[in-house]
Amino acid sequence: MDMRDIAKIVGVSSATVSRVINGSNLVRPETANRVRQVIEELKFFPNTNATTLKYGKSGTYGLIIPDITNPFFPEFLKQFEKILVKNNQEMLMATTDFHSTRLQQSVRRMLVRKVDGVALLASEIETESIEALIHNRVPLVTMDRRKIGPGLSDVTINNTSGMEQAIEYLKSLGHTKIGYIGGSSQRTISDHRANAFLRAMKKFELAVNHDFMRVGDYRFTGGEAAMIELIRLTDRPTAILTANDMTAIGALRALREYGYSVPGDFSIIGFDDIELGELIYPSLTTLRLPRHQFAETFFRALEDAGKDRNAPGKKYTVGTSLVIRNSAGPVRPTTHRRTKNGRQRQPQGA
Amino acid sequence: MDMRDIAKIVGVSSATVSRVINGSNLVRPETANRVRQVIEELKFFPNTNATTLKYGKSGTYGLIIPDITNPFFPEFLKQFEKILVKNNQEMLMATTDFHSTRLQQSVRRMLVRKVDGVALLASEIETESIEALIHNRVPLVTMDRRKIGPGLSDVTINNTSGMEQAIEYLKSLGHTKIGYIGGSSQRTISDHRANAFLRAMKKFELAVNHDFMRVGDYRFTGGEAAMIELIRLTDRPTAILTANDMTAIGALRALREYGYSVPGDFSIIGFDDIELGELIYPSLTTLRLPRHQFAETFFRALEDAGKDRNAPGKKYTVGTSLVIRNSAGPVRPTTHRRTKNGRQRQPQGA
DNA sequence: GTGAAAGCGCTAACAA
DNA sequence: TTGTTAGCGCTTTCAC
């Protein structure tokens, strides 16, 4: 079933059918109505692949994400899909599970389908994997990678604002020994966040103890493991910031397992503000990365890049802000059950 | 850049290039190598839209889900994508947010892209929405809708086995007053599950109190609200089964808010076995719907239906089983602080 | 207002 | 073993 079939039935040419479908005003209303009626009756849907072929652009944007299991990504996806559908674009999704081979596979899938651009929310990017995109002039927009170039834009996350709010907040609660659980040490997003942490600590004149800086994997299990390392220290932080909420939630579980209370014994602050943070107990104090705005920015970046494929890449920025819930609270002196060198020892019964 | 460009450079015809790309053995190895080399150098990727156009099938399956925010679906998606990629198929995903207009929109997206089949995991299906698929002979596979027909298959969930295990387990723990929080009352999946619950209750000779049967919305908030209704009853159940894990997690939160302990005061059993169930406290006793097998079954159903579009639809079945964690425990007589008619009143200090 | 026809990139039947 | 060519369904220019 194609436009010619419709045309034959109505007694017009396929060109007229095409015009009707595309809302051209060059068709006599009666003709248009007859065409529409037959289309309706036969439940005809035009084949967009033909259009894609003709114009070389598919009306599809690719979305590559590392881990669909982390609620941040479904929440992003939901917003992104909504924006695309509103703009008559299609979405081609791929996940990488943090594997670079999977990333390359995903890029290939995007390339053979001739997507009009790719939003890459994976952090572990080797240049090799994305070369093919750049080479084929497919606009690429990355997440907080902070490198731009021809056909390569970036949505930079301004961690600084949120991180400063978080540190200031913790300081106001009496915390001075503040730790950080990052993503993998190799990854740029993780580095940017860790650096923002270090800068904020400096700004508020707090000493950084590198023993308090640990590495997770952006997942629950990584946060749990890193928190256990921190618990085992003799000198421990009283507050911990994390690279994302799943890491924070893992840390919370480690603390629960070891019999510590939050925020009584330790304060935990996450990053992302996934919905789950509101549902767990204690609810998660976190740095919010506004999801809709984030998705919107990616879309805008893709559109901009698509308009002129020779334009240089651009840098876009979204901010972060502190959302106060119940996983951070005032420091409690009795937290330090064991201390190094006998300093800071607290009375047992107080 | 197309096959002719490659062909020109190598000094062969585009047919030869096509043969090399598709692994035909009718090409002299040296020729093939030269072709491959140029493809590599130029980072050429063939345009699958042309192939799609030529063959009328796109190598793409559609996946329609109601709510990407419910972790069950990302977990399914992950498995499904993996299977598709392994089989050189593409995935076109759409979410409906439980709106029938969004469903119709999604179906349209599938139709214009000429997908080879659609896996529909949405429960709120009006026949109108899917008519276009059936009419256009696009194989459709639904989730536990239990209707089949030409071009319409179903992956039925055998709730019975799991439900019976759950009731038997609760009975062995001393529970006799067992409640159920379903999805929407209008939806078939919800009905199938509720019916399985009723049948299991009967099988184990437990009386059903219809006051204990409530309706949620498959989401956290629905479970929370329904649980609050149950808490407010003067005669209350001691154990509650739910239509899915998110509902159960909402119920857990309601209980925590009202100061009840789980499983001390109430036992809760979920359905799905999402990863989150292991992470929360108390960890969730639930009925497992094996995700990989489920995704695999959908894929098989789509493949089967695609082989012969005139074949009648088939029914596929996946089972469920009880996963025991910590949200269900023995009945505690003192739970019943207030009772109706003075029956079952418990001593205060016991 | 409407129609005829070319061409998007690929593949397979057929020819050589 | 390789090349030629028609055609998948659509849009759009040009002709009428």
pLDDT per position as a tens digit, B210-263:
999 999 999 999 999 999 999 999 999 999 999 999 999 999 999 999 999 999
Please give the Cα distance from A233 to A226 (Å, whole number): 11
CA of A27 to C1' of C10 (A): 33
Q: At what angle do helices B245-257 and B220-231 cross, to 10 degrees?
A: 50
Whether the CA torsion A260, A264, A269, A273 is positive or negative: it is: positive
Contact B105 A85 (CB under 8 A): yes
Looking at residue B185, its pLDDT comes to 67
CA distance B274 to chain A (A): 10
Provide the 10 A C-beta neighbour count for residue B348: 7
CA of A4 to C1' of C2 (A): 14
Assess contact for B224 and B251: CB atoms under 8 A: yes
Please give the Cα distance from A108 to B91 (Å, whole number): 14
C-alpha torsion angle, residues B136, B137, B143, B146 (rounded to 10): 110
Name the closest residue (CA) to the C1' of nucleotide C13. Answer: B15
Assess contact for A109 and A56: CB atoms under 8 A: no
Which 8-state DSSP code applies to residue A348? Answer: T
In this complex, the residue of A46, A74, A109 whose CB is nearest that of residue B74 is A74
pLDDT per position as a tens digit, A243-252:
999 999 999 9
Contact A131 B281 (CB under 8 A): no
Amino acid B190 reads S
Q: Is the CB of A54 under 7 A from strand D?
A: yes
Structure token digits, residue B220: 């956290």
Looking at residue B308, its pLDDT comes to 87
Structure token digits, residue B221: 């908030």
Contact A109 B90 (CB under 8 A): yes
Please give the Cα distance from B257 to B223 (Å, whole number): 13
Whether the CA torsion B78, B82, B87, B93 is positive or negative: it is: positive
pLDDT per position as a tens digit, B111-151:
999 999 999 997 668 888 899 999 999 999 999 999 999 99
Provide the 10 A C-beta neighbour count for residue B304: 17
Mean pLDDT of chain B: 91
Q: Find which of B60, B65, B113, B327 to mutate to test the A interface (most A CBs within 10 Å of its CB).
A: B113
| Domain residue limits, chain B | 3-46, 56-157+292-314, 159-289+324-345
Q: What is the Cα B292 distance to its own chain's centre? A: 11
Which 8-state DSSP code applies to residue A174? Answer: T
Please give the Cα distance from A144 to A121 (Å, whole number): 9
Homologous superfamily (CATH) of A3-46 is lambda repressor-like DNA-binding domains (1.10.260.40)
In this complex, the residue of A45, A58, A112 whose CB is nearest that of residue B136 is A45
pLDDT per position as a tens digit, B249-307:
999 999 999 999 999 999 999 999 999 999 899 999 999 999 999 999 999 999 999 98
DSSP letter string, B19-84: HHHTT-S-S-HHHHHHHHHHHHHTT----HHHHHHHHS--SEEEEEES-TTSTHHHHHHHHHHHHH
Looking at residue B342, its pLDDT comes to 34
CA of B13 to C1' of C16 (A): 14
| Residues in A touching B96 (Cβ below 8 Å) | none
Fold agreement (B3-46, B159-289+324-345): no
Provide the 10 A C-beta neighbour count for residue A184: 17
pLDDT per position as a tens digit, A297-309:
999 999 999 988 8
Contact A48 B105 (CB under 8 A): no
Q: Is the CB of A57 under 7 A from strand D?
A: no
Under 8 Å CB-to-CB from B292, ≥6 apart: which residues? B79
Structure token digits, residue A187: 């990854």
**Consecutive H or E run containing A85:** helix A72-86
Please give the Cα distance from A267 to A252 (Å, whole number): 9
Which 8-state DSSP code applies to residue B150? Answer: B
- Tens of pLDDT along chain A (350 residues)? 999 999 999 999 999 999 999 999 889 999 999 999 999 999 999 999 999 999 989 999 999 999 999 999 999 999 999 999 999 999 999 999 989 899 999 999 999 999 999 999 976 688 888 999 999 999 999 999 999 999 999 999 999 999 999 999 999 999 999 999 998 766 666 688 999 999 999 999 999 999 999 999 999 999 999 999 999 999 999 999 999 999 999 999 999 999 999 999 999 999 999 999 998 999 999 999 999 999 999 999 999 999 888 889 999 999 999 999 999 999 987 544 443 333 333 323 32
C-alpha torsion angle, residues A281, A284, A285, A291 (rounded to 10): -150
Looking at residue A341, its pLDDT comes to 38
Q: What is the Cα A220 distance to its own chain's centre? A: 16
Query: Which nucleotide has the shortest C1'-to-CA distance from B114?
Result: D9
Across the strands, what pairs with A269?
A: A241, A285
Instruction: Choose among B81, B65, B75: nearest CA to B273.
Output: B75
Name the closest residue (CA) to the C1' of nucleotide C1. Answer: A27
Structure token digits, residue A210: 């590198």
pLDDT per position as a tens digit, A173-203:
999 999 999 987 666 666 889 999 999 999 9
Q: How would you classify the pairing of strands A321-323 and A285-288? A: antiparallel
Q: Find which of A1, A68, A283 to mutate to test the B interface (most B CBs within 10 Å of its CB).
A: A68
CB neighbour class for A185 (10 Å; exposed up to 12, middle 13-18, buried from 19): exposed
Assess contact for B281 and B273: CB atoms under 8 A: no
CATH numeric code, A159-289+324-345: 3.40.50.2300
Under 8 Å CB-to-CB from B12, ≥6 apart: which residues? B31, B35
Please give the Cα distance from A46 to B11 (Å, whole number): 38
Homologous superfamily (CATH) of A56-157+292-314 is Response regulator (3.40.50.2300)
Q: Find which of A2, A41, A48 to mutate to test the B interface (most B CBs within 10 Å of its CB).
A: A48
What's this model's pTM, rounded to 2 decimal places? 0.91
- DSSP E strands: which ranges in chain A? 60-65, 90-95, 117-120, 140-143, 152-158, 178-182, 213-215, 239-242, 267-272, 285-288, 315-319, 321-323
User: Which letter, b or e, does each residue of A80-107 get, where b requires 16 or more Cβ atoms within 10 Å of its Cβ?
Assistant: bbbbbbeeebbbbbbbbbbeeebbbebb
| Residues in A touching B41 (Cβ below 8 Å) | none
Structure token digits, residue A105: 């596979």
Assess contact for A346 and A331: CB atoms under 8 A: no
Structure token digits, residue B167: 């009731």
Please give the Cα distance from A197 to A184 (Å, whole number): 15
Looking at residue B340, its pLDDT comes to 36
